[in-house]
Chain A
Amino acid sequence: MFLVKLILTRTKTLNKSILKRRDLLIGFATSFLTSSAFAFSADDATLLVGKVVGEINSVISSGKSEQAMIVDFEKIFAKYADVNIIARSALGPPARSASSKQLKKFTTTFRGYMARKYGKQFRTFIGGEINVEKTTDRGKFFEVSALVTSSLYFTPFDVTFRVSDRSGQNLFFDIIIEGISLLSSERVEIGALLDARKGSIDRLTNDLEKLG
């Protein structure tokens, strides 16, 4: 009797896992098909950054208040950046031991923090513009560089977007200004903030609401 029960439950779980595997396979197949049908190309990357830059340009020339601009920047960031991956990478190794709830809350807070912090920086671009220059294939991702001309600086400077489709969508995951990576910089910053809070992601998330 016990043996029968055991065999029955075994087959049940076996069926379940087969089902799961089949779902997974279908998922893989669809993603493979869609990605091969719409292969991510250099043109897509350029187009994406063109859109980002276009939207940033219209925000900085809108003449809105800084507060309103920051709201707009957060929308642009949410739409075109791989916020999940940037937030995870900024947390570094502690992200692995965080619960999905913690991670979700951190990611949303981080998005606002980024918009406030870098939105303020875009103020210096007022009266200037950003133009896409060239796109380079880096193997696993594309690098789209743009030139920023601003009345505030004598010489134009370089802003490079790193774009990838590795999380299923074409999104940018890093902005590099004159060689300085936003992702690297936030890894240092968030790492230091986390250290100062003895590694508590909850405390960090709480405090991040007020930072940036």
Chain B
Amino acid sequence: MWKTRNLKFFMIITALSALLSACTNVLPGAQGADPFEKLNRKTHEFNKNLDRNFLGPVSSRYSSVLPDPIENSVNNFASNLRLPGKVANNILQLDLYAAVQNTSRFFVNSTVGIAGFFDPSGKLGITVIETDFGETLEGWGVGEGAYIELPLLGPSNLRDSVGRVVDAVLLDPVDYILVQPEANYRTAADLSSLLQTRDALRDQINSLFNESADSYAQARLIYLQNRRFKLEDVSSETYFDPYEDFE
């Protein structure tokens, strides 16, 4: 299935990310190594303006126009098509339990759930087990590397940015199969699902951007601590012990 060119690209990226993350140390307290702070802060301003002027208003419009059941169906459709990519990562992580659960979910929702628009699996308790190539890399021992705020996509780190590229380019079986116009429907569904998520998180996002004294530093903290929590990555001490100063 994989062309040798793809395999080479894959190996180069993996090696590169391992090398880069070995160069950057993680500071205590989840401040993270932030050698790109200057550039990151510029990207943050860009993202903030984009959210304020475009994503925020459009997503609230989207959610107020469409009835919730339709929004949910579109979101189900988009997230169902993301499952094969997750299964690929489950296999790379040798997590067969998750691979089986995500695969069953995909088959049940694609058939009984009519191309994934409905979620009968969820009602049976077969929920999605989230994963991505960033997590796969973490499992392979790659450190998180420097903090990066990506344009449009928001907070990330070196390892997870590489993960995003690999997930989108190499580890998306659906992308190999879909042809036009279905591929376009999928892109549209992905965008809709993004709008729905943005609207669901509006209180949190607005308070982050408008109420925190330094939204860049706050976003960085939230991303790094939450990501480590999700990956159960306890190798780096994330939290402060406030009593240590007095002992």
A residues within 8 Å of B by Cβ? Answer: 85-86, 88-89, 124, 140-141, 155, 158, 162, 164, 166-167, 173-174, 176, 178-181, 183-185, 187-189, 191-193, 196
Do A187 and B229 contact each other (CB < 8 Å), given the known contacts A180-B222, A196-B213?
Answer: no
A185 close to B242 (CB less than 8 A): no
A167 close to B243 (CB less than 8 A): yes
B225 partner residues in chain A, CB cutoff 8 A: 176, 179-181, 184
B213 close to A185 (CB less than 8 A): no
B212 partner residues in chain A, CB cutoff 8 A: 189, 192
B228 close to A179 (CB less than 8 A): yes
B214 close to A181 (CB less than 8 A): no
Which are the 9 A-B pairs with shortest beta-carbon distances? A179-B229, A89-B242, A192-B214, A192-B213, A166-B243, A179-B226, A193-B213, A179-B225, A180-B225
In the complex, A188→B247 CA distance in Å?
23
A180 close to B221 (CB less than 8 A): yes
A178 partner residues in chain B, CB cutoff 8 A: 226, 229-230
Can you list 28 pairs linking A and B with CB atoms under 8 Å apart?
Answer: A85-B243, A140-B241, A155-B127, A162-B239, A164-B243, A173-B242, A173-B243, A174-B242, A176-B229, A178-B226, A178-B229, A178-B230, A179-B225, A179-B230, A180-B226, A181-B30, A184-B221, A184-B240, A185-B218, A187-B29, A188-B217, A189-B212, A189-B214, A191-B214, A192-B212, A192-B213, A192-B214, A192-B217
Number of interface residues of B (CB under 8 A): 25
In the complex, besides A179-B230, A180-B221, 9 extra interface pairs with C-beta distance below 8 angstroms are A140-B243, A141-B241, A164-B243, A173-B242, A179-B226, A184-B29, A187-B29, A188-B221, A189-B212
B240 close to A86 (CB less than 8 A): no
Does B89 lie at the interface of the complex (its beta carbon under 8 Å from any beta carbon of A)? no
B residues within 8 Å of A by Cβ? Answer: 29-30, 127, 203, 212-214, 217-218, 221-222, 225-230, 238-243, 245, 247
In the complex, A49→B203 CA distance in Å?
27
- B124: min CB distance to chain A, Å: 15
A183 close to B242 (CB less than 8 A): yes
A189 close to B218 (CB less than 8 A): yes
- B219: min CB distance to chain A, Å: 10
A176 partner residues in chain B, CB cutoff 8 A: 225, 229, 239
In the complex, A181→B241 CA distance in Å?
11
B214 partner residues in chain A, CB cutoff 8 A: 188-189, 191-192
In the complex, A167→B217 CA distance in Å?
30
B242 close to A181 (CB less than 8 A): no
Q: Which residue of A lies closest to B228 (CB)?
A: A179
Q: Which residue of B lies closest to A89 (CB)?
A: B242
Interface centre among A155, A179, A181 (most CB of B within 10 A): A179
In the complex, A184→B242 CA distance in Å?
10
Interface centre among A158, A176, A187 (most CB of B within 10 A): A187
- B69: min CB distance to chain A, Å: 15
In the complex, A155→B127 CA distance in Å?
10
- B88: min CB distance to chain A, Å: 23
- B234: min CB distance to chain A, Å: 11
A183 partner residues in chain B, CB cutoff 8 A: 239-240, 242
A185 partner residues in chain B, CB cutoff 8 A: 218, 221-222
- B119: min CB distance to chain A, Å: 11
- A80: min CB distance to chain B, Å: 16
In the complex, A175→B30 CA distance in Å?
15
In the complex, A4→B110 CA distance in Å?
99
In the complex, A178→B226 CA distance in Å?
6
B238 close to A181 (CB less than 8 A): yes
B213 partner residues in chain A, CB cutoff 8 A: 189, 192-193, 196
- A164: min CB distance to chain B, Å: 6
In the complex, A2→B205 CA distance in Å?
74
B218 close to A181 (CB less than 8 A): no
In the complex, A141→B238 CA distance in Å?
15
B221 close to A89 (CB less than 8 A): no
Interface centre among B225, B227, B238 (most CB of A within 10 A): B225
Q: Which residue of B lies closest to A86 (CB)?
A: B242
Q: Which residue of B lies closest to A179 (CB)?
A: B229
In the complex, A161→B159 CA distance in Å?
29
